[in-house]
Structure 1
Amino acid sequence: MDPKSQATAGLPAETVTLPARGWRIDPTHALLAGALCWIGFAVVVVAVLSGNSADFDAAGLRLWRTGMDFHPRGAPWLAEAVRDYTALGGVLLRNLVAMGALVALLFLRLRREATLLALTIATGWAVNSAIKAFVGRPRPAIVSHLTDAGGLSFPSGHSFNSAVVYISIALAFAALSPRHSVRATVVLAAMALTFLIALSRVWLGVHYPSDAIAGWLGGAGWAFIASALLYRPAKAAADSAVAEGLDPTSELSG
């Protein structure tokens, strides 16, 4: 095999080493992206509280339905598929994914990224819960609900929390790649995945479009803002003696 072919050939798994960590999204860029998302969130909040979103919300809910009884469009399997997809933003699955990501980051010796991820998710959940209680919007009753849903409606918890979890995970694992194109693809894929989760809540009739849009904007914005504002506290916690003792890889590196 000539040298050029050897350079491009796949390496045996045993010889592959992970790159040294070090990349993080530029704090200024993260704060700018987060601020833009939260400005959009604030616009939606004003529209909801003033009643100006009513026509848009009603039209959005009916867009996915047909007939006098507003039954869902498409074949029966489509509703089941949307329910399966929306579960990615539910409490059980998103927390299982988050815990799996935390464990993986720890075993990859990315303790700083794991700590930042945990702080972002915990604070994001608190922010979403506080906003829900403040707005106090009930669930829509314009069309039938195609899945069980309880609690208040604004913002959508599936939309907000899934954006926080999956975008934060993408930002954490992007630290493993030295290539900008790979990091951008990972983060953009997480944003697209979570935006579709937001749309699924409207399709299922359990959230107004404004709930889903605000939830996604707020969650994505929090993921970016937290990556900048919580970085130093996360780094300090990750470097502490307590974190060292809890690190499952500390014995391996000792």
Structure 2
Amino acid sequence: MSVTPTNPPRRSANPAEIGGLLILALAAAGLLVFALIADGVHEGETRGFDETVLLLFRQAGNPALPIGPIWLEIAVRDFTSLGSTTGLATLTLLTAGYLAVDGKRAAALFVLIATSSGMLLSFALKIGFNRPRPDIVDRLVDVHTLSFPSGHAMGAAVTYLTLGVLIVRTESKRCIKVYVLGVALGLTLLIGLSRIYLGVHWPTDVLAGWCAGSAWALLCWLVASWLQRRGQIEPADSN
């Protein structure tokens, strides 16, 4: 008597695996765009784009004056300070302290490692590319470092987005997750734009910083998810 072979049951797709693959794909896309921008900058192909966009933020015929009223310039200076090394380090320490006090010590340690290593990567990229600051408009704030990628844009993405996704991983309420990620994205965009407005970065510096920092934050999300499944980072609150 012949026995008809039965097909093994198909393994259903795991939503966590699908989400992980999507995040990995987005991180890879961010790194690819960063590489394309870096190559264009190295070859001098982005000069025209950079100059055109940078001059859009200055009054016609007078590159020393930014567009808008004086209060806008003051507000932009305040926003750009949110992406400074001191500001980001302070926020990171405060967030890690909150997580530690809340009993999430492993998450607190991960916050410190993820953000500090991302900032070190930003400094290393600056040294590697060695791009000078813009020279076609007056700079509205003093700067003394190299230009590519924007440390403020990348640092904001590394810090705000990494902190955002890690807080999301330790929270169960959807409204909190949406709020935290929305704030993180908004601050990252505003800080990057402020650097162009102030004339201290080429637009491609900021775009590259956003791409690299976002990719870093997404990779941190994947690592945090993996550690959480292994029980090495505290799970979300159940209440």
TM-score (norm 1): 0.78
Residue 113 (structure 2) aligned to one of 119, 140, 144: 119
Where do residues 163-178 of structure 1 align in structure 2 (5 Å cutoff)?
163-178=157-172
State whether residues 156 and 211 of structure 1, in contact with CA within 8 Å, keep that contact through their aligned partners in structure 2: yes
Superposition deviation, residue 179 in structure 1: 3.7
Q: Which whole-Å deviations, capped at 9, do the CAs of 1:15-67 have from their partners, x for residues lacking one? A: xxxxxxxx9x9543432222121111111111111111000000111001013
Q: Report the more deviating stretch, 87-96 or 28-37.
A: 28-37
Quote how far apart the aligned CAs of 1:181 are. Answer: 5.2
Q: Give the superposition deviation at 1:230.
A: 6.4
Alpha-carbon separation, structure 1, partners of 2:21 and 2:219 = 10
Any unmatched runs of 5+ in structure 2? 1-15, 234-239
Give the 3-state SS of the residue equivalent to 1:211 in structure 2: helix
Select the residue among 21, 43, 51 that pairs with 2:44: 51
- Which residue of the partner structure matches residue 59 of structure 2? 66
Task: Give the SS at the match of 2:62.
Answer: coil
Aligned counterparts of 1:123 and 1:176: Cα–Cα separation in 2? 21
1:228 pairs with one of 198, 222, 229: 222
User: What is the CA–CA distance in structure 2 between the aligned matches of 1:234 and 1:210, rounded to whole Å?
Assistant: 36
The whole-number CA distance in structure 1 between the counterparts of 2:228 and 2:131 is 34
Match of residue 88 from structure 1: 82
Whether contact under 8 Å (1:119, 1:234) holds in the other structure is no
Identity among equivalent pairs (%) = 32
Query: Residues 231 and 176 (structure 1 numbering): CA distance in 2 closer, same or farther, change over 3 Å?
Result: closer
Counterparts of 2:176 and 2:197, CA distance in 1: 32
Match for residue 36 of structure 1? 29
The Cα RMSD (Å) is: 2.4
Residue 234 of structure 1 deviates from its aligned partner by 9.3
Matched, 1:213 2:216: no
SS at match of 1:166: helix
TM-score of the superposition, structure 2-length normalised?
A: 0.82
Q: Which has the higher contact order (CA 8 A, sep 6+)?
A: 1
CA distance in 2, matches of 1:138, 1:55: 16
Work out the number of aligned pairs and report it: 216
Q: C-alpha distance in 1, partners of 2:26/2:116?
A: 20
Counterparts of 1:118 and 1:194 in 2: how far apart (Å)? 19
